[in-house]
Amino acid sequence: MIGADMSNHKPCIGVFDSGVGGLTVLKALLEVIPGADYLYFGDTARLPYGSKSAETVTKYAVGACEYLHSHGTDLLVIACNTATALALPKIERVVGVGVVGVIEPGAQSASGASQNRKVVVIGTDATISSHAYLRALKSRGVEAREKACPLLVPLVEEGWIAHPVTEQVARIYLDEAFAGEFESADVLVLGCTHYPLLKPILRRVAPAQVKIVDSAESTARAVAQQIRLGPKLSGAESVNEERGRGSSHIRFFATDSVQKFRSLGERFLGRKIEDVQHVDLKE
Which residues carry out catalysis?
A: 80, 192
Q: How many CA atoms lie within 13 A of 203 on its CB side?
A: 8
SS3 96: coil
CA dist., res. 38 & res. 269, Å (int): 13
7 Cβ partners below 8 Å, 6+ apart? Answer: 228
CA dist., res. 98 & res. 93, Å (int): 10
140 Cβ partners below 8 Å, 6+ apart? Answer: 107, 108, 111
Chain center to CA of 72: 21
CA dist., res. 38 & res. 74, Å (int): 10
Residue 72 bridge partners (DSSP): none
